[in-house]
Amino acid sequence: MRLAPILAKEDYENLRSYMLDLVVRQALPPLHGGRPNWKEIGATCLLSGEGLKAARREGRHAFEAIMRWVALAAKAKEAPAPTPAPAPVVTKTIIRPVGMRTLSANTNRRAPEAQASRMQKPMMAGAKPAQTMVQKKAASR
């Protein structure tokens, strides 16, 4: 915008299209010592002597903005995309009404009474059951 009233129409259109091309290609302008090389820019855009002086004075900010934007875009490309953290494993709590028991998935279990009666039975049919400590103490008295 600053360049339009200062430059000749042809110089303005050439410089404008050159700057837009830099933006589209995401390329830096030719540099000399870290700053835009105005001799090369003037030769590329076919700027007149007066047009080059005016572009150098007023176009400096535009070229510096393009350089900042290209550098920022390059940093964004270099930085790896953040990998999403794995979602934490959440255990599902089972909510039951009070007083309700869950049934075991194992249907082969014996009832508690069956286990107690089994312990009372002798292992071999003709053998006597082993004496308990209480019975041994009572027999020794």
Distances (CA, A) of 17 to 21, 22, 35, 45, 60: 6, 9, 20, 9, 16
Per-residue confidence of the chain (141 residues) as pLDDT tens digits? 588 888 999 999 999 999 999 999 999 999 999 899 999 999 999 999 999 999 999 999 999 999 999 999 888 877 676 677 777 777 777 776 666 666 666 667 666 555 555 555 555 555 556 666 667 777 776
Specify the residue for token string 């009474």: 113
C-alpha 102, offset from chain centre: 41
Kindly list the domain boundaries of the chain, sorted by start residue. Answer: 3-78
CA angle 120, 122, 127 (to 5 degrees): 145
**Which pTM value belongs to this model?**
0.53
**What stretches of 23-139 adopt beta strand conformation (E)?**
31-32, 35-36
